[in-house]
A and B are shown apart, each in its own frame.
Chain A
Amino acid sequence: MAVVVAPVPERLRRTRRWERRYAIDRSMRTLALACTVLAVIPLVTILAFVTINGITALNIDLLTKPPKATGVGGGALAAITGTIQMVSLATLIAVPVGLLAGVYVSEFAGRRMANVVRFSADVLVGVPSILVGVFVFTFLVLPFKQYNAFAGSVALAVIMVPVIVRTTEEILKLVPGDLREASLALGVRRWRTVLSVAIRTGWPGILTGIMLAVARAAGETAPLIMTALGSRLVNIGDFSRPMSALPLFIYENARQPYPALNEQAWGAAFLLLLAVLIINILVRARSLRGPRR
């Protein structure tokens, strides 16, 4: 069927201003795209660089052998075990503290108290991590006149706590209030409601926060320089002595004049990147599944 269409009347026509707006729109969009590319370039480059240089440096020795006591050779075993131990202890310290503080702020604190804690946590997140190292150095290294892995763990915990406090609080705020009310209306006690309804509902999100804090702690270098120091020996379980860690190992080996050691630094960097990547992927998978609707 042929439909007779009237010509576009003047009041509906594109004006010159429309042409101008359209041109500006296009150029701004292009600019935004360019900036996005610029922002992604370093990220992709780092990933590519570390992967290319790291994969070739990976070998069984790097994973299973301690550094040679004298000079070149050996592997990163001391650093790998050190990172695992210190991050684990830091998590053990930081999770209860951070979780309970987050729960307190979200569920029990008055508004003023909550604001103070929230503000402190935000400031603490932004504190340069070397300051955390210096702080812990004063309290846990100087008195003993001995760099030690316990101090390293505490320093990492100090970095983790505010992250966990904030995510726990934010997640609990997202748990609908009527779920708490429904529980209380059943005659359930307040603490039980918080534990079995609020925390349980928000648990996937809280876990995400904890894992992000773990990833962050695993990558910290500065606080460990002042506390755990680093070590060429594989130290299993003796937290009163120095201990190595992957970031420390990278830092040490990268500034040595021996290509073989530089090579090891790349390998360790790749390992660290892989660990952080895996944690992030686990987190992502968790939060995608999320709490059941």
Chain B
Amino acid sequence: MTADPTMGEPTAESKLEIRDLDVYYGAFRAVRDVTMSVRARSVTAIIGPSGCGKSTFLRALNRLHELTPGARVEGSVLLDGADIYDPAVDPVRLRRYVGMVFQRPNPFPTMSIYENVVAGIRLAGRASRNELDEIVERSLTRAALWNEVKDKLNEPGTSLSGGQQQRLCIARAIAVDPEVVLMDEPASALDPVATLRIEELIAELRANYTIVIVTHNMQQAGRVSDETAFFTMNEDRAGYLVEFGPTREIFTNPRERLTEDYVSGRFG
């Protein structure tokens, strides 16, 4: 399937290296034999048709898929060269460094905007009020939400609009200072204007974080990402990686026929 033997080769600046990764739910193999590498401080998009294991693959990068009973992986995922599936790894500590933003905005309904941003810090550690204030301002500023909410930090997070809620969730995710932020179709529940703001935000976050984003919107992948991985599935419904490379090449000059058919809208 791989046309270029150098595809997915680790480079000096790679943050995540995924090697021969299979993800199973019980006997069902959802993701098959994925090898690719994610560069530090870049945006990597995962595209592909529905049900091809994109989300499952993403969740395997911070071991969140383990919440599903019967889920397991084969192969390895290296974060800065260390295998996150090594038995010595504490998945809870891993998730401090590899955070996640979900499809539907999910601020904690019992918490204010302020409490939402610092939820990860408060629930997992301790910090002084001053530190928290700083973190709130910094995180909300980075999430391009500070100006809109600075005067109502004590209002519930759920009082915001959908797009603001999603930016609040991004602020919450980056408040614990992760290195990698995984995003699972972060704009698919939002209107076009809110989507645009999220995309601008992703472009800015790229300076500080390594971002992996799953999207079913190919234009979005084209707009926000540096590199793109195209996944699809066979009759056995196991998703696999067809092609991985610089986004421009995936969209303008793909090596694989399947990729070309997908990005040109012939299937999917």
Contact = CB atoms under 8 A, between A and B. Distances in A.
Interface of A: 176, 178-190, 192-193, 196-197, 200-201, 203, 291-293
A58 to B, nearest CB: 41
B95 A186 contact: yes
Interface string B82-109: 0000000000111111011010101011
B158 interface: yes
Contacts of B120: 183, 186-188
B190 to A, nearest CB: 16
Contacts, number: 85
B106 A178 contact: yes
B99 A185 contact: yes
Contact of B62 (A179, A185, A188, A203): A185
A181 B102 contact: yes
B172 A197 contact: no
A188 B106 contact: no
A182 B100 CA distance: 7
Contact of B92 (A181, A189, A197): A189
A190 B92 CA distance: 8
A181 B173 CA distance: 12
A12 B63 CA distance: 62
B219 interface: no
A292 B92 contact: no
B106 A187 contact: no
Interface string B104-127: 101011100000000110011000
B67 interface: yes
A153 B189 CA distance: 52
A186 B176 contact: yes
B123 A192 contact: yes
B145 to A, nearest CB: 17
Interface string B191-231: 00000000000000000000000000000000000000000
Contacts of B97: 187
